[in-house]
Amino acid sequence: MKAFIVDRYKSKSALRLGDMPEPEVRDHDVLVAIHAASLNQLDAKIRDGEFKLILPYRLPLILGNDVAGVVVRVGSKVQRFKPGDEVYARPRQDRIGTLAEFIAMNEADVALKPTNLTMEEAASIPLVGLTAWQVLIERAQLKRGQKVLIHAGSGGFGSFAIQLAKHIGATVAATTSTANVDLVKSLGADVVIDYKKEDFSQVLNGYDVVVNSLDKSTLEKSLKVLKPSGKLISISGPPDAAFAKESGLNGFLQQVMRLLSFGIRKQARRHGVSYSFVFMRANGEQLSGITSLVEAGAIRPVVDRIFSFQATNEAMEYLATGRAKGKIVIKVR
């Protein structure tokens, strides 16, 4: 099968379009003919080798973390899916590879595609949708009436997280650039901070939760807007020891993560708030919950641009600009 492959870790390098063997289908696996995939900053970071300590992939590696397609074969112990089912997923991290014609995934990671979405729209959701769910519902335990600040509101994660937070009943603030203020308002944000004109840390205060997907200085300034006992949650790092332990990393790496996050954890304690890092995990059951929200009209996908499969490297270059509104999608077939 045709696939886009990382042969060696190198910053901003092009992916190689080549032939790879069709994936093996294990007892609990579904084999999916991929119709669409979408790109995430995670893809660029994996290609560049930024995660090789915590995600030790064997190269050559097929890249890609989001998929929508049709089940073509199922393993002998699969109970939830049958050939012909239209599905979407974020495969678990040791089995990524959605920039290809086929992928095999454990059925526990897969959900039926929302019936009201195209394959391209559905492929834009799994990674950012699950990240938002695990940050806002699991980690933050966000409640109706609470206040949450979501950084980079027009990006892939932000555009989904705003809608989920509004569905929960929270008051939502979001940061974005001048060009995207109207988009972020249309997604439901109650307060929109144009970072080119205002400093969010001078404008906002008394927030229960801040979700950071940006750099270190944004992370540190975010402490100022939280109320005592508030929660600062980052999906862009630094990782902490709790994450290392959850991921089954060895004692040395747990200590490395503890040191990496020492500064921000110390500052958080000084402000009387908590800091934690979330690295999303595959979860078909949560994705089914997201399907229900999408079908009910509570959340809509935001797709910036759709590229052909052959133009995947152009799509990766566009991802690197950081200017996409919502998600960048690859139409595979």
| 3-state SS, residue 90 | coil
Only one residue has tokens 């940050």, namely 135
Token couple for 221: 């300034």
CA–CA dist 139, 58 (Å, integer): 31
CA–CA dist 230, 175 (Å, integer): 19
Q: Under a CB-based contact definition with an 8 Å cutoff, are residues 36 and 328 in contact?
A: no
Handedness of CA 314, 317, 322, 323 (dihedral sign): negative
CA–CA dist 161, 148 (Å, integer): 10
pLDDT number for residue 53: 81
> Checking phi first, is residue 20 left (phi over 0); if not, alpha (psi -120 to 50) or beta?
beta
| 3-state SS, residue 144 | coil
| 3-state SS, residue 215 | coil
Q: Report which of 199, 163, 208 is spatially closest to residue 183, judged by C-alpha positions.
A: 163
In the chain, the domains with their CATH numbers are 2-124+301-331 (3.90.180.10), 127-277 (3.40.50.720)
pLDDT number for residue 237: 87
pLDDT number for residue 51: 86
Identify the burial level of 70 via C-beta atoms within 10 angstroms of its C-beta, where 0-12 means exposed, 13-18 middle and 19 or more buried.
Answer: middle
CA–CA dist 48, 166 (Å, integer): 35
Sequential pLDDT tens for the chain (333 residues): 999 999 999 999 999 999 999 999 999 999 999 999 999 999 999 999 998 888 889 999 999 999 999 999 999 999 999 999 999 999 999 999 999 999 999 999 999 999 999 999 999 999 999 999 999 999 999 999 999 999 999 999 999 999 999 999 999 999 999 999 999 999 999 999 999 999 999 999 999 999 999 999 999 999 999 999 999 999 998 999 899 888 888 999 899 999 999 999 999 999 999 999 999 999 999 999 999 999 999 999 999 999 999 999 999 999 999 999 999 999 999
Handedness of CA 52, 55, 57, 63 (dihedral sign): negative
CA–CA dist 199, 203 (Å, integer): 7
CA–CA dist 185, 92 (Å, integer): 33
What's at 92, amino acid-wise?
R
